[in-house]
A and B are shown apart, each in its own frame.
Chain A
Amino acid sequence: MTQDPNAEAQIEPTEVGANAAESGERQLDSDVSDAYGSHERGVDGLDFSSLADLGHTASELDPDAPAVLTVDNLKMYFPVKSSGLVRRTIGHVQAVDGISFEVPQGGSIGLVGESGCGKSTTGRLITRLYKPTGGSMMFEGHDLAKLSNREMKPLRRDVQMIFQDPYTSLNPRHTVGTIVGAPLEVHNIVPKNKVLPRVQELLEVVGLNPEHYNRYPNEFSGGQRQRIGIARALTLNPKMLVADEPVSALDVSIQAQVVNLLQDIQREFDVAFLFIAHDLAIVRHFCPEIAVMYLGKIVEIGDRETIYGRPHHPYTQALLSAVPDVKQAAIGGRRERIRLEGDVPSPINPPSGCRFRTRCQFAQEICAKVEPPLLQIGKRHKVACHFAGELGAHPATPVTTELLGVDDQGSTVPGATPTNTQLTIPGYEKTWYDLGTKQTTGV
């Protein structure tokens, strides 16, 4: 009571680091985690080149991997209640509104977008912390969207979540052993006397000292706590992990430790990742495939090279241009960027047609009238924009008119036959709509 509570809170993190260092945390000898751990001796005998070899380059895409999870037209509407005597539902927050994608086995897909666009909601739907309003999520022959909570239970082992905040997501009154071992007991899969060895094995995998299983979360630093959260998620050998901003709460130097650990885990255990983050650079490093969300919808999805190199959606372009670039130091001044005006509109009353039109510099009449379909325009590239095109080369007339059977203003053309067979498939087709020729082409 007598001390400034602020000061206490501030000293704590460094203190924790120091404690861990003093107690000489033992690390795995062969594992990468060794060098990324947190003690002074860990660095001894390690020079830069050996550590560099353990650091990872960006993850690569395996184009032939089968899908482990297929999300189709997934929707989550949260009811909005009126205030007053009788609380009626007066609207819905359309947090996620009809998104489709596939997560390849052992691969990872990144989900990016501004705050409130529905990234976390998507993650929570897949782990079934929420029951979706509509759509399907096929996982190993089961539709996660339709299962009851009881039917879901055996499947929960396979889909686990890593949370953003390592400070609040661990119960402070439980030891690390209890936290990491709890899923084993809940699902009753190993005999009681096998729980501890498994817990220690997991702690070793994530680069923590296995002897520390009876310590409490507050004895660990932020990065170490995130490792505990990862160990807990790994306990049941999941086939898929949903990582919701797993490194945002961590210090820059620690972020890289955790990202490398996740990459190790992915390689070693062949886990698929849905990786949610608002840091576009981290997502680019971790995910060979990225989906960009805006107001509850996927506006562009594709492989890393396409999304970061040749984005076709005005929003993706604006988002990428907003990222400050270290390389700019060599040139000086600021990068040219697309200025987005205003805020994201409310998901209770999203704009008609294209949801981005209120902030889009290319918006035209058709954008308000017709919602652009998520159209496959490349081998692994889909975009939802009437004027999709590379930066500086957006077409003057809508590219979607023929497919939708509308004219350039978005009015329905009588007698036209819309061809939207391609529009709802979660994965990629062998053939796609070529923007240049306006023809369906293929490899």
Chain B
Amino acid sequence: MTSVPMTQSSASERTSSEGPFLEVEDLTVTFPTEDGPVTAVSGLTYSVERGKTLGIVGESGSGKSVSSMAVMGLHDAKSAKISGSIRVGGTEVVGLGESRMRALRGNSMAMIFQDALAALHPFYKIGKQLEEAYLVHHSSASKRDARRKAIEMLDRVGIPQPDRRVDDYPHQFSGGMRQRAMIAMGLINDPSLLIADEPTTALDVTVQAQILDLLQDLQREFNSAVIIITHDLGVIAEMADDVLVMYAGRCVEYGTAKQILVAPEMPYTWGLLSSVPDVTASTDARLIPIPGNPPSLLRPPSGCSFHPRCLHSDKVRGDLCRTELPALLPASTGTAHLKRCHLADPVGVYQNEVLPEIAPDLVEETR
């Protein structure tokens, strides 16, 4: 397999060694709709370094895609109000002019989308779509260079006979190949930041494994910062260094993958863990769903937005859960682990109440 020569160093390279490549601070995205403003993301703060992977989890509608599209500057300025700060390789992109934004998009940051069949243009050949992505950021390159580059990238992501398949249309590819082509397109300009929005949700486990392998190999090779959005905690466990759990547009827990999945301190995270069965778990483990449905963002619940569905709010004194939004505070496992919950002793509750039900076999080990 050929490796991809770096024909042009991206603008970000200079600033790469100092601090995280992507820094999001207090990001809020609001859509004015006919029924009133919908705050899809509020007060989101996170950062990703080069070579690291951030996983974002949450139910659908929790703001995962909206926040990432804000990073890419994909929201229509007329229909979305964005506040806060997003720094990509040191450049502030909130409020950045369209032409400067365009120079970053697809170049030093790229995004791959969930439904590759819908996300690729049905009327243009795969090769043409890849070449277009390359040419727009390499104005001096010729059509021939672009085609060579496209074939090279298809080869790199493991498409067999890339010089022939480059002239296929998206519908002629299988689901897994289309997702590979999307990845090839995202990586064609060697971006320092790659956002993968549910890259494997519609795929079979075997194909998912291939795609995740590929993403990891490429990340190692290009040393890029990766954000992977998913609702599959297994994918998070295997891919992510850091994890951000979102609920109703807010970050409710943030920490390393180990902190979040082994010692979670927020009832929503517990709910996510307890509502999905596990292929290797004990068969005595219970499947405990989160009751109810995700809230409406038009009229979000007061206080902690999870309180209508929370099974532990009775352990919080008074009416706090209903009246006061908990702050995002350090958890007991370390300052890098943040959680948004009023519970006084989350570790105790998790160890004594939750774990015995959802992972009886783990209780002995951790005690």
Q: Do chains A and B touch in the complex (CB under 8 A)?
A: yes
Question: With a CB–CB cut-off of 8 A, which chain B residues contact A253?
Answer: 59, 271-272, 275, 289-290, 294
Measured CB to CB, the nearest residue on chain A to B356 is A52
Taking a contact as CB atoms under 8 Å apart, the answer to whether B296 and A37 are in contact is: no
Chain B residues numbered 249-292 whose CB sits less than 8 Å from any CB in chain A: 257-258, 260-262, 271-281, 283-292
Taking a contact as CB atoms under 8 Å apart, the answer to whether B296 and A17 are in contact is: yes
Taking a contact as CB atoms under 8 Å apart, the answer to whether B293 and A330 are in contact is: no
Question: With a CB–CB cut-off of 8 A, which chain B residues contact A304?
Answer: 283
B36 to chain A, nearest CB (A): 11
Contact of A254 among B34, B257, B289 (CB under 8 A): B289
Taking a contact as CB atoms under 8 Å apart, the answer to whether B294 and A328 are in contact is: no
| Segment touching A, from B144-152, B234-242, B323-331 | B234-242
| Segment touching B, from A67-75, A194-202, A333-341, A408-416 | A333-341
B117 to chain A, nearest CB (A): 13
B48 contacts A by Cβ under 8 Å: no
A351 contacts B by Cβ under 8 Å: no
Question: With a CB–CB cut-off of 8 A, which chain B residues contact A15?
Answer: 296, 298
Question: With a CB–CB cut-off of 8 A, which chain A residues contact B293?
Answer: 14, 16-17, 20-21, 38, 221, 223, 254
B349 to chain A, nearest CB (A): 8
A40 contacts B by Cβ under 8 Å: yes
A46 contacts B by Cβ under 8 Å: yes
Taking a contact as CB atoms under 8 Å apart, the answer to whether A343 and B279 are in contact is: no
Taking a contact as CB atoms under 8 Å apart, the answer to whether A51 and B291 are in contact is: yes
Question: With a CB–CB cut-off of 8 A, which chain A residues contact B353?
Answer: 48-49, 52
In the complex, what distance in Å separates the CA atom of A122 from the CA atom of B187? Answer: 40
Chain B residues numbered 176-219 whose CB sits less than 8 Å from any CB in chain A: 176-177, 204-210, 212-213, 216
B156 to chain A, nearest CB (A): 16
Taking a contact as CB atoms under 8 Å apart, the answer to whether A48 and B59 are in contact is: no
B3 contacts A by Cβ under 8 Å: no
Contact of A280 among B235, B279, B308 (CB under 8 A): B279
Question: With a CB–CB cut-off of 8 A, which chain A residues contact B209?
Answer: 321-322, 324, 337, 339-340
B116 to chain A, nearest CB (A): 14
Contact of B278 among A16, A327, A343 (CB under 8 A): A327
- Interface size of B by CB at 8 A reads 76
Contact of B204 among A57, A114, A254, A284 (CB under 8 A): A114
Taking a contact as CB atoms under 8 Å apart, the answer to whether B354 and A39 are in contact is: no
A343 to chain B, nearest CB (A): 5
Taking a contact as CB atoms under 8 Å apart, the answer to whether B286 and A334 are in contact is: no
Kindly name the residue among B34, B176, B279, B354 whose own CB sees the greatest number of chain A CB atoms within 10 A: B279
Chain B residues numbered 5-56 whose CB sits less than 8 Å from any CB in chain A: 31, 33-34, 38
**Interface code A262-297, partner B: CB below 8 Å = 1, 0 otherwise?**
000000000000000010111011000000000000
Measured CB to CB, the nearest residue on chain A to B175 is A115
In the complex, what distance in Å separates the CA atom of A169 from the CA atom of B291? Answer: 24
Question: With a CB–CB cut-off of 8 A, which chain A residues contact B257?
Answer: 329, 332
Taking a contact as CB atoms under 8 Å apart, the answer to whether B287 and A285 are in contact is: yes
B311 contacts A by Cβ under 8 Å: yes
Taking a contact as CB atoms under 8 Å apart, the answer to whether A55 and B288 are in contact is: yes
Question: With a CB–CB cut-off of 8 A, which chain A residues contact B260?
Answer: 329
A contact patch SS: helix
B125 contacts A by Cβ under 8 Å: no
Taking a contact as CB atoms under 8 Å apart, the answer to whether B295 and A255 are in contact is: no
A316 to chain B, nearest CB (A): 12
Taking a contact as CB atoms under 8 Å apart, the answer to whether A55 and B279 are in contact is: no
Taking a contact as CB atoms under 8 Å apart, the answer to whether B278 and A13 are in contact is: no
Taking a contact as CB atoms under 8 Å apart, the answer to whether B275 and A322 are in contact is: no
Chain A residues numbered 31-49 whose CB sits less than 8 Å from any CB in chain B: 35-40, 42-43, 46-49
Question: With a CB–CB cut-off of 8 A, which chain B residues contact A328?
Answer: 234, 237-238
On whether A324 and B238 interact (CB within 8 A), knowing A256-B276, A282-B277, the answer reads yes
Chain A residues numbered 78-127 whose CB sits less than 8 Å from any CB in chain B: 114-115
A117 to chain B, nearest CB (A): 9
On whether A48 and B312 interact (CB within 8 A), knowing A38-B292, A56-B286, A324-B232, the answer reads yes
Question: With a CB–CB cut-off of 8 A, which chain B residues contact A332?
Answer: 257-258
A309 to chain B, nearest CB (A): 9
Given contacts A281-B277, A326-B276, 13 further A-B contacts (CB under 8 A): A21-B293, A40-B308, A48-B354, A52-B286, A252-B276, A257-B291, A322-B206, A324-B232, A325-B237, A327-B280, A328-B234, A328-B237, A334-B213
Q: Please name 20 pairs of A and B residues whose Cβ atoms are closer than 8 Å in the assembled complex, sorted by A.
A: A14-B296, A17-B296, A18-B298, A21-B296, A38-B292, A39-B292, A40-B292, A40-B301, A43-B308, A48-B312, A55-B286, A114-B204, A260-B287, A280-B205, A328-B234, A330-B261, A332-B257, A339-B213, A342-B160, A343-B177
